[in-house]
A and B are shown apart, each in its own frame.
Chain A
């Protein structure tokens, strides 16, 4: 299985602080995605980083990818209470035609 593993499982920070979540995976990939899930809802796509990219930005989000270590990190800067959610990484397979494999998620709580 190439299931991703997020670290930490849970994270609690104060509003305005940065939040960093990590994801490790096991096999080669074409790209890695990060999703967000508010409590009781479906997942929402945040950002995708390709295997030939090392860093990508989108608003307050910064994603890095280290294919040699098979790991990725998601940084949320200047966090807000509305960022409280679970965050999942998802990897594809090298063949490109296999379903995404989601990690176990990091539950982020941002305290106002």
Chain B
């Protein structure tokens, strides 16, 4: 079992709120990713990072930001939550030079 932690696991908030989804890992992996996924549907890459102080936008990066100040921590912030943000958010890690990604358990977000 990969040591990737996501908090909170479930979150219900109102429209317009600013929220931060936490992702942390104890594996020392260089690469980290955020995906948005509606239940059972395809994954959409939001942001990714290949190391400290390095972040890149994915296909679905608007209205959100990330930071990578420490190797083990990769938080995702939604500046102003909207009902369209209702989804599951998955964090993943990958060791540099290797292909396999390890996924956290996800955060299920509901915006009312």
Contact = CB atoms under 8 A, between A and B. Distances in A.
A binds B: yes
Interface of A: 3, 31, 33, 35, 37, 39-45, 48, 86, 88, 90, 92, 97, 99-100, 102-105, 107
Size class of the B contact interface (CB-based, 8 Å): 20 to 34
A92 B99 contact: yes
Interface in B41-57: 41-43, 45, 48, 50
B40 A39 contact: yes
Nearest to B91: A42
Nearest to B48: A99
B105 interface: yes
B108 A42 contact: no
Given A40-B108, A45-B100, A103 B48 contact: no
B102 to A, nearest CB: 7
B40 A105 contact: yes
Interface centre among A33, A35, A37, A100 (most CB of B within 10 A): A100
A109 B31 CA distance: 33
Contact of A99 (B33, B39, B103, B105): B33
Contacts of A97: 50
23 contacts: A35-B101, A37-B40, A39-B39, A39-B40, A40-B39, A40-B88, A40-B106, A41-B105, A41-B106, A42-B90, A42-B106, A43-B43, A43-B101, A44-B103, A45-B100, A86-B40, A92-B99, A99-B45, A99-B58, A104-B42, A105-B40, A105-B41, A107-B40
Contacts of B100: 33, 45, 48
